[in-house]
A and B are shown apart, each in its own frame.
Chain A
Amino acid sequence: MITEVATVTFDELELDCGVTLAPVDCAYETYGTLNAAKSNAILVTHAFSGDAHAAGEGGWWSNMIGPGKGFDTDQYFVICANVLGGCKGSTGPGSVNPATGCPWSMAFPVITVTDMVRLQKKLIDHMGIRRLLAVAGGSMGGMQALEWAVAYPDHVLAVLPIATTARHSAQQIAFNEVGRQAIMADPDWNSGNYYDRRPPARGLAVARMVGHITYMSDESMREKFGRRLRSSDEFEVESYLKYRGYKFVDRFDANSYIYITRAMDAYDLTQHGSLPSLFENIATRFLVISFTSDWLYPSYQSLEIVSALRSRNCDVAYVNLAAVYGHDSFLVEVKEQTEIVRGFLASTFREGAVGG
């Protein structure tokens, strides 16, 4: 599957912080074919460090999206956009501020998960799609899926929040803050002004190393590395984390890291009311998935969402999949997710077509 990233520029986007960002780029990829009724579109929302390249060679969810896969591109039209604040084509702190002609850097306005979703809605409108068949994503992508259900219930038939939460816990905020502090402690960060010089590679790499630990589980790390040595004075796990950390530097912007993790930490679906009250009269179907070994987004956070949905008699399916890979399970546990996602989408598509 050969894919190409496209970019659409919108005149403006109103942000939660009150600032209007103008103009705004949204980079996206699509897979499969939109049917004539425009009823087979699925928006896939990426996790914090993801991008629009979800499927095909090197795509972050390529094992789930494609012909005959969980999100079957022979049947569905799959869209994935880089989030607002990102560094892979959509407007973010590394983009040029039209007022100064220089990168925004830390002058970039504060963004929220709601703002990210607002930009996605513009993209969907731009494509002429009135109602999405589904919005699906893991981790921060799951937050966006939840936000879609609450913000645009009439424009999405089903949402699949996977390994996610309605709001970050103190532990989740804490790990993000360690990442941000690692970046800011790097002298190369230079208060965010590094776009014309050496970027804060050491800080960003350390941030990523911490992140990677939280995405794995004790068991998966033991299986993968154990106490094996890479060389006489370096454990395998040390070498792996350094490799992943420095590889990340090549593809990610440190300021985006700061802005996006802040948006995740600030996100609280309950800030406008209790979860049950938000789900009142929502006809959207839910498929909520958590993983037994995910200690970063533990299943109680998914259950909180599911209980609230059930208290309002919303249509929700929930499963806590047995998996050893920790938070990364949603990217790795393909077989079981494929079966569930395929069946859920098929019945939603079938019944949605009947229900109009």
Chain B
Amino acid sequence: MGVSEVYGRSDYAIIGELIEPGTRVLDLGCGEGLLLAWLKENKQVNARGVELVGASVQKAIARGVSVYQGNLESALEDYPDGAFDYVILSQTLQETRNPLKVLQSMLRIGRHAIVAFPNFGHWSVRWAHLWTGGAPKTELFPHEWYDSPNIHFLTVFDFESLAQKQRWKIERSMFLARGRQVKMLPNVTAEVAVFLFSASA
């Protein structure tokens, strides 16, 4: 799934709908800050971002978004508890070294967390694996196994199980295929899953 699609209008609309106006938002792996700039403009949020790629950070800062150049996994440690209303991790969870720790840190520094990730349970992935017998290569996961940035693969089902185990409260979940919402059998039909969740306690 390309960056343009991830940051396409359907994704804006979903995250835009989830986020209350005037809140404090941190976007992890924020790229060129398009989403944050959009939220700033349309939701008057206090927008912050973390991004590793210098050229993207430059673009984001030029857009007026306060972005910190650094690795998101180590960056999370510096922020104080409850610093944000929302911490967003869009299309990056599967690239993190320690996803559980990342998710837990998101809930430490944010009242709510929002994750969007490509669903490894999508039928096309299952089919590609079954049919070829190789590591699945699809539109959703276009990389060869040896050059993929994705190091932890997860499905809608996996995330929901983890949330239950960790006693997180899933406040909203939304599923996308071809830029549209799907409701039926999301573990099979969703290309991208978006979860809004919080620590239950």
Name A residues whose Cβ lies closer than 8 Å to a Cβ of B: 285, 287, 303, 306-307, 310-313, 315-322, 336, 339-340, 342-344, 346-348, 350
Contact = CB atoms under 8 A, between A and B. Distances in A.
B102 to A, nearest CB: 16
Interface of B: 46, 48, 54, 57-58, 60-70, 75, 78-80, 83
Nearest to B82: A313
A307 B78 contact: yes
A316 B68 contact: yes
B69 to A, nearest CB: 5
A239 B48 CA distance: 48
Contact of B48 (A311, A315, A322, A342): A315
B58 A285 contact: no
A104 B57 CA distance: 48
A346 B64 contact: yes
Contacts of B60: 317
A81 to B, nearest CB: 27
12 contacts: A287-B61, A311-B78, A313-B80, A316-B68, A317-B57, A317-B68, A318-B67, A319-B54, A340-B61, A343-B62, A344-B61, A348-B64
Contacts of B83: 313
Given A320-B69, A321-B58, A311 B64 contact: no
B21 to A, nearest CB: 14
B49 to A, nearest CB: 9
Contacts of B66: 285, 315-317
A339 B58 contact: yes
Nearest to A299: B69
Nearest to A338: B62
Contact of A317 (B61, B75, B78, B79): B61
B54 A320 contact: yes
Nearest to B46: A315
A218 to B, nearest CB: 21
B69 A347 contact: no
- 8 nearest interchain CB pairs? A347-B64, A343-B62, A310-B78, A317-B66, A313-B83, A339-B62, A340-B61, A319-B57
Contacts of A322: 54
B66 to A, nearest CB: 4
Contacts of B57: 317-319
A319 B69 contact: yes
